[in-house]
């Protein structure tokens, strides 16, 4: 977990360069998709940008689609160091409401952080906006709306 802030942000720049070489423009802000979260052993996280059409990947870059469905979302405004707390609050809120997450065992069906602020436009990290969006499902497998 301590490695995330050092390792993942540079991947966004690498991916943007890869996309520019293929004349691909992002259609929205960068995102991180959490696929597997085991704080003691392993994290599996995608660094991504939305695009209009899926290009062919290569040995370093893969393409995928976020699953459709209802996502529980919250907007966090503040320094990225507060995202763990904001995530905990969303998880606690959902538990109190009886909302379950779409999961396949330990793997998340859809757990995304959208980084809505551009550091070139808003350099004050205390004002950065991040949307947390987690795919929901009820016990019978029916997607539900959460408020």
pLDDT of residue 144: 46
**Residue 39 located in a structural domain:** yes
CATH number of 27's domain:
3.20.80.10
Q: Which residues have C-beta within 8 Å of that of residue 114, sequence separation ≥ 6?
A: 28, 29, 30, 31, 130, 131, 133
Number of domains in the chain: 1
What are the tens digits of pLDDT across the range 48-102? Answer: 999 999 999 999 999 999 999 999 999 999 999 999 999 999 999 999 999 999 9
Using pLDDT thresholds of 50, 70 and 90, give the confidence band for residue 11: confident
Domain of residue 18, residue span: 4-51+67-137
**Residue 143 located in a structural domain:** no
Rounded percentage of the chain residues whose pLDDT exceeds 90: 73
């Amino acid at each position: 977990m301590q490695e995330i802030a050092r390792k993942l942000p540079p991947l966004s720049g690498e991916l943007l360069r890869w996309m520019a070489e293929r004349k691909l423009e992002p259609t929205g802000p960068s995102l991180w998709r959490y696929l597997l979260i085991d704080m003691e052993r392993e994290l599996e996280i995608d660094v991504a940008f939305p695009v209009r059409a899926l290009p062919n990947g290569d040995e370093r870059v893969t393409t995928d689609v976020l699953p459709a469905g209802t996502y529980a979302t919250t907007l966090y405004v503040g320094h990225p160091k507060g995202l763990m707390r904001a995530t905990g609050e969303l998880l606690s809120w959902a538990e109190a409401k009886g909302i379950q997450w779409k999961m396949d065992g330990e793997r998340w069906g859809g757990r995304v952080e959208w980084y809505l602020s551009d550091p070139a436009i808003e350099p004050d990290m205390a004002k950065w906006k991040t949307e947390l969006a987690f795919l929901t499902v009820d016990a019978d497998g029916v997607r539900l709306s959460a408020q």
